[in-house]
């Protein structure tokens, strides 16, 4: 019977250890993924800042060419407060168109082309465009690091459950729409999902422990009943035993054998055999038969 309890105890320990390991794994995995996801969002935020700078410089260039022919064609650029990949791509197209048109205008007006303000703004716009491309590369590198970690073992098993979605790569000159809205929802819950997950793990662990505990009680009752039944059978059964001279004695009941043991006339090593049996066994194995099979 002790073997059954040892086995059930082992199952309980395994369930507890598994729950603890899952909780620790989720905590460490959450911290890593959260740091990488924040890097992705920070990189995209930097792109937004650079894009707004590009809009500002392009609009300053439009102001600088006022008074020249065809300036009515130049419309100030606008950018939404809620920056998106579509906004940035649109800004790129509009800015390139405006700068190309103004550059063509400057070719017809030497005084404009030689203007310090014009040349300063054109150089600043080119620098911003190059900076924007570098920002895009840094964003895609951050997205690659995040996506690699997210899809690696063991993070792949719980990343989605914790709210970590796949990060898209940014192409500034791509005509196809890009869904960057996921950056706004890519785990902004400050660990609430982890709390929910750990709560679920705790609930499941408690359920497992209750189930195992109920099984243990059930098996314990069965084993106890079997042991009591066997003891009753042994008490009713009569035994022969060998005295110190190895002469058969009896038959006597188990209670009588126990009385003889108390009197020092037999020991746990004294060979006994049930009435009608064929094999002698030590008295100790009859008194303590061990777990029921």
How much is the average pLDDT of 148-158?
A: 83
Show contacts of 76-79: CB within 8 Å, 24+ apart. 79/51, 79/52, 79/55
Q: What is the pLDDT of residues 40-76, one digit of tens each?
A: 999 998 998 999 999 999 999 988 888 776 656 777 8
- Provide φ and ψ at 51, rounded to 5°: -65, -40
Of residues 255 and 198, more confidence is placed in 255
Q: What is the pLDDT of residues 79-111, one digit of tens each?
A: 777 777 777 888 888 888 888 888 888 888 888
pLDDT cut 90: percent of the chain above it: 18
Tokens of 46: 């930097």
pLDDT at 159: 79
DSSP 1-41: -HHHHHHHHHHHHHHHHHHHHHHHHHHHHHHHHHHHHHHHH
DSSP 65-131: TTTSTTGGG-------SS--HHHHHHHHHHHHHHHHHHHHHHHH-HHHHT-HHHHHHHHHHHHHHHH
- Torsion region of 266: left, alpha or beta (phi above 0 gives left; psi -120 to 50 gives alpha): beta
pLDDT at 39: 92
pLDDT at 190: 43
Show contacts of 40-43: CB within 8 Å, 24+ apart. 40/139, 40/142, 40/143, 40/146, 40/167, 40/183, 40/186, 41/183, 41/186, 42/142, 43/135, 43/138, 43/139, 43/142, 43/143
Listed in sequence order, the DSSP H helices in 151-237 are 182-185, 192-236
pLDDT band at 263 (very low <50, low <70, confident <90, very high): confident
- Asked if residue 197 has pLDDT above 80, the reply is no
Residue in the structure block whose two tokens are 């040349």: 119
pLDDT at 121: 93
pLDDT at 94: 86
- Asked if residue 117 has pLDDT above 50, the reply is yes
Q: What is the pLDDT of residues 213-240, one digit of tens each?
A: 566 556 556 656 665 556 555 556 788 8
For residue 277, the number of C-alpha atoms closer than 13 Å in the C-beta half-sphere is 14
pLDDT at 145: 93
pLDDT at 79: 76
pLDDT band at 191 (very low <50, low <70, confident <90, very high): very low
Q: How far apart are CA 118 and CA 102, in angstroms?
A: 10
- Asked if residue 292 has pLDDT above 50, the reply is no
Mean pLDDT, all residues of the chain: 77
**Hey, how many other C-beta atoms are within 10 angstroms of the C-beta on 155?**
22
Q: Per the confidence metrics, is the pTM higher than 0.95? A: no
Of the candidate ranges 20-29, 102-111, 264-273, the one whose mean pLDDT is the lowest: 20-29
Q: How far apart are CA 277 and CA 198, in angstroms?
A: 60
Highest mean pLDDT among 80-94, 185-199, 259-273: 259-273
- How does DSSP classify residue 156? G
Helix (H) or strand (E) holding 150: helix 116-150
- Asked if residue 116 has pLDDT above 50, the reply is yes
- Asked if residue 194 has pLDDT above 90, the reply is no
pLDDT at 169: 87
Q: How far apart are CA 4 and CA 142, in angstroms?
A: 54
The answer to whether the CB of 135 falls within 8 A of the CB of 6 is no
Looking only at the bridges linking them, the beta strands covering 271-274 and 238-242 are antiparallel
Of residues 2 and 14, more confidence is placed in 14
pLDDT at 171: 81
């Amino acid at each position: 019977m002790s073997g059954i309890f040892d086995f059930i105890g082992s199952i309980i320990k395994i369930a507890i250890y598994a729950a603890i390991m899952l909780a620790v794994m989720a905590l460490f995995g959450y911290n890593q993924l959260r740091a990488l996801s924040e890097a992705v969002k920070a990189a995209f935020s930097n792109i937004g800042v650079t894009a707004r700078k590009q809009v500002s410089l392009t609009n300053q260039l439009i102001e600088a060419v006022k008074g020249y022919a065809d300036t009515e064609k130049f419309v100030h650029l606008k950018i939404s407060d809620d920056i998106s990949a579509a906004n940035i791509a649109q800004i790129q197209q509009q800015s390139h168109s405006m700068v190309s048109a103004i550059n063509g205008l400057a070719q017809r007006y030497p005084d404009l082309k030689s203007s310090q303000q014009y040349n300063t703004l054109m150089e600043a716009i080119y620098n911003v465009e190059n900076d924007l491309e570098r920002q895009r590369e840094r964003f895609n590198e951050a997205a690659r690091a995040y996506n690699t970690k997210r899809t690696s073992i063991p993070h792949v098993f719980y990343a989605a459950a914790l709210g970590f979605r796949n990060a898209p790569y940014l192409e500034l000159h791509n005509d196809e729409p890009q869904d960057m809205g996921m950056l706004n929802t890519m785990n902004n819950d400050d660990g609430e999902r982890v709390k929910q997950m750990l709560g679920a793990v705790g609930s499941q662990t408690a359920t497992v422990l209750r189930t195992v505990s109920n099984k243990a009680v059930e098996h314990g009752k069965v084993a106890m009943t079997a042991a009591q039944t066997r003891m009753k059978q042994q008490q009713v059964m009569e035994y022969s035993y060998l005295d110190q001279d190895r002469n058969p004695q009896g038959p006597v009941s188990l209670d009588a054998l126990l009385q003889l043991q108390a009197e020092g006339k037999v020991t746990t090593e004294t060979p006994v055999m049930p009435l009608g049996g064929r094999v002698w066994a030590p008295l100790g194995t009859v008194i303590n038969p061990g777990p029921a099979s």
